[in-house]
Structure 1
């Protein structure tokens, strides 16, 4: 049965009944799958960030999930309490998966139930490029990144939310993931303003979270990874977006100054054997041309050296196994 305009006007998308394009789930005793709870926390985080409040999720009452596409939209009704004023409110939030299998989530609605929502300008959202890993270690430069102290992690639980969303969205095999083994190691925040405590509440920021997790099923040891999450808010349309990815922390540069870094390509740990071989060949070719350039500089007046380089370039002769220094 499809929803009629009369039903949608009366119940709205949050209270609509199950149909061919929508599935309604009532969470008994406040229990629902872990993915929906994370989406509910994301909508509540949007409200807290924009309104300057500190509501915390109590339970999820129910949610409606669209069925027209694998990338669904979730209309969630939840209960939340302010731990300082002990004020309880029923919230409604909508979280949309912009694409299936990637971490791109948007939210236009996060409000107390019964509150009128402002009509903002509509937009066509198109997925762009994901946040990139910086060319320097984000945990070693306080002039560019704000490094979050361990004490600040306790009062900014949204950092843990970003980490859990990044890990959950990278594995679509289940909607209930065991996230108890995740341990935050370092957190850095980058904004358009100079780094300060205001970076924690910036509406537009990129968050770098280095974490470890213990995987007993695979090899019984800790893995060291980094999650990169970008937070974006568009005032004109009210769109709140979280997107990002996670990867092994070996992609991070060493904590050194830029003037001490060389342009040498070093194979990363944890790479496949084929990629290591390709990088090794690049190193060999690079070293060969450097040696020939040095010989040319040592004999600038000699035309034989230049002709020798040109002959080698034309013949494309490269050493097969290595260069003896």
Structure 2
């Protein structure tokens, strides 16, 4: 590049440019940034136009399911049934664990709206993420929605939970517990989980976030997994109607399935092997939806047992401090 065409910035000018860039990003909560000049902001948001680029953008399978997850959160809280019509665009941070700002079209019967969805990842190659925003986009004639908190491009937020729905995910319960403890567990009929789109969505998110391209799923597409059984654990009583338990804000979902030939978290290889997945959903009073999930192999319990035994040995071998 000729010297006369180069744009040079002093330290003060660069700092001012960065402040102006992030001020513009914050005004739209990270969604509409196309007209914001950012030639020198190396830590800004990456912008992708889904309509112009088709599927030629990073992780299209995952971005689509993040959009569906945002609509899922909106539907649970508002009692609606919006579904995805088209991805329009999205922005993402440059972190390994990224935040996604997705703009999409959704429809509910004959009604179509533009939505904005923000998803924050908390771990890489794990299902551990939070939907922080899921809302219809305001029209130009409508007053802009005021953001209560300062804009942070990427933060590892999490929905607030309590009881068994906080901390590490639980062990896989016994079959006896599934069927006998009806105050905790609800075993879905096949027709129920077949009619519940978010169950397969949760499982697909677990597969995609765990794989992250390691075994080619991102390139070749998701396998046609077959769900065999679904059990949901909630705070509700067994007298609660199924729809209330399925849409509970805090829930553990236990899924038995087959058809996944490869996964970096599982030792067995083969699509006919039955596998297990545990996924936690928490939606708190602020509206945050957090998903935490893992594949279950039974070795988790064995490892925790060894860890506890090792800890007990260390504790027993230590001398107790003298009193007085």
* TM-score bucket of the superposed structures, by smaller chain: 0.5 to 0.7
- Per the normalisation by structure 1, the TM-score is 0.68
The 1-side partners of 2:209 and 2:201 are apart by: 12
Q: Give 1:119 shift.
A: 4.6
Secondary structure of the structure 2 residue equivalent to 1:14: coil
2:291 maps to 242
Residues 1:146 and 2:173 aligned together:
no
* C-alpha distance in structure 2 between counterparts of 1:140 and 1:97, whole Å: 34
Aligned residue in 2 for 1:186: 229
Q: 2:272 aligned with 1:222, yes or no? A: yes
Once the two structures are superposed, residues 245-264 of structure 1 have per-residue CA deviations (whole angstroms, 9 ceiling, x without a partner) of 1123x6799xxxxxxxxxxx
Superimposed CA distance per residue, residues 266-323 of structure 1 (whole angstroms, 9 cap, x where no aligned partner): x9xxxxxxx9xx99xx9xxxxxxxxxxxxxxxxxxxxxxxxxxxxxxxxxxxxxxxxx
- Judge conservation of contact 1:47–1:110 (CA < 8 Å) in 2: yes
> Secondary structure of 1:129's match?
coil
User: 1:15-36, CA deviations, whole angstroms, 9 ceiling, x for partnerless residues?
Assistant: 1146522100111366461010
Which blocks of at least 5 consecutive residues in structure 2 are unaligned?
1-16, 160-165, 310-324
State the partner residue of 2:70.
43
- For residues 116-155 of structure 1, the aligned pairs below 5 Å read 116-117=144-145, 119=147, 125=157, 129-137=167-175, 139-141=178-180, 143=182, 144-155=184-195
Match of 1:207 among 253, 265, 273: 253
- Give the Å deviation of 1:228: 0.7
Structure 2 counterpart SS, 1:185: strand
1:124–1:162 CA distance, 2 compared to 1 (3 A): closer
- How far is 1:100 from its partner? 2.0
Q: CA deviation at 1:107?
A: 1.4
TM-score of the superposed pair, with normalisation by structure 2? 0.68
Contact 1:34/1:176 (<8 A) preserved: no
State the Cα deviation string for residues 136-188 of structure 1 (Å, max 9, x = none): 23643461311111212233100011110111122122645632321111001
Check conservation: 1:75, 1:92, Cα contact below 8 A: yes
Partners of 1:153 and 1:91 in 2: CA distance: 26
SS of residue in 1 equivalent to 2:76: helix
Residues 219 and 231 (structure 1), Cα distance of their counterparts in 2 relative to 1, 3 Å cut: closer
CA distance in 2, matches of 1:213, 1:49: 29
Structure 1 residues 81-132: Cα deviation after superposition (integer angstroms, max 9, x where no partner): 11xx321111100000012222111112100111754655789847973311
Please give the root-mean-square deviation of Cα atoms over the aligned residues, in Å. 3.3
Equivalent in the alignment of 1:28: 51
Q: Does 1:76 align with 2:93?
A: no
Q: Aligned pair 1:52/2:79, yes or no? A: yes
Q: How do residues 284-295 of structure 1 correspond to structure 2 at under 5 angstroms?
A: none
Separation in 2, partners of 1:76, 1:124: 18
Q: Does residue 65 in structure 1 map to residue 92 in structure 2?
A: yes
Alignment coverage as a number of residue pairs = 253
Q: 1:203: how far off? A: 1.0
Query: Against the structure 1 CA distance between its residues 120 and 200, is the aligned structure 2 distance closer, same or farther, given a 3 Å change threshold?
Result: farther
- Find the aligned partners of 2:125 and 2:25 in 1 and give their Cα distance: 30
Where structure 1 has 5 or more consecutive residues not aligned to the other structure, the ranges are: 254-266, 268-274, 283-325
